[in-house]
Amino acid sequence: MNPKFFQLPEEKQQHIINAAYKVFAGNSYKKAPMSEIADECGISKALLFHYFENKKELYLFLWKQAEELTGNAVREFGVMDTTDFFEILEKNLRVKCSLTRVYPYIGAFCLNAYYEQEEEIRKCIQPEFSQLKRMGEKHIFERIDLSVFRKDVDLELMYQEILWTTEGYLCRRYRMQDVDAEEIEKDFLRLIKQWRRIYYKAH
């Protein structure tokens, strides 16, 4: 990409990035035109191509940026500074909501990117995403206090249930273009409270 993009005022950079996240979040890679991204952020298509050589370069830039922003926020919120599984979930929720307040379509973009079938994109993203997912899960289950769970809980199944619920809920929100971070946070805090009651031992 053209380094001149980073010479733009931060607000202008963010405006272009948000426009790209929005268009890619609402379309498959192949059906997301650069002209629509340019229109969304109010610049010419020629200028957009001045900053990003082609659509693939822009797409992978957005993916790397999402990865970097998430990693920074995870450290800032101290997501792994606890041994309580559901406290990790709460902190991770706050990470996602904090990013959504600045980049409303970043979550939808990442979800779309994970399921993208275009081969030139899939081969760049899927292996890295899968590795990050495995490492994250390993780190969580090595760290958490297992003694607080009920003895009859299948932890692997519980974790999958939470992932499926989360993904389904967010897919519904994204399809409705309802990405209100406050509402998302409120709903998930209620879910986490419910999961805590179901899976932890009674006190």
Q: How far apart are CA 176 and CA 88, in angstroms?
A: 28
Query: Residue written as tokens 């940026």?
Result: 65
**pTM to 2 decimals?**
0.90
For 101, other C-beta atoms within 10 Å of its C-beta total: 13
Judge whether 27 lies within some domain: no
Judge whether 7 lies within some domain: no
186 is in which domain, residue-wise? 55-199
Residues 17-72: tens digit of each pLDDT:
999 999 999 999 999 999 999 999 999 999 999 999 999 999 999 999 999 999 99
Judge whether 148 lies within some domain: yes
- Give me the helices (H) in 77-118, please: 85-102, 106-115
Judge whether 6 lies within some domain: no
CATH number at residue 76: 1.10.357
132-146 core/surface letters (b: 16 or more CB in 10 A; e: else) = eeeeeeeebeeebee
Judge whether 32 lies within some domain: no
Judge whether 191 lies within some domain: yes
Residues 112-124: tens digit of each pLDDT:
998 899 999 999 9
Percent of the chain with pLDDT over 90: 82
Judge whether 161 lies within some domain: yes
pLDDT at 178: 83
DSSP for 7-25, written as a single string: GS-HHHHHHHHHHHHHHHH
In this structure, which amino acid lies at residue 178? Answer: D
The model's confidence at residue 2, banded by pLDDT at 50, 70 and 90, is confident
Nearest to 27 by CA among 117, 126, 130: 117
Q: How far apart are CA 159 and CA 93, in angstroms?
A: 15
pLDDT at 136: 86
Judge whether 92 lies within some domain: yes
Q: How far apart are CA 145 and CA 32, in angstroms?
A: 44
Tally the domains of the chain. Answer: 1
pLDDT over 70 at 203, yes or no: no
Conformation bin of residue 177: beta by default, left when phi > 0, alpha when psi is -120 to 50:
left
Mean pLDDT of 72-93: 95
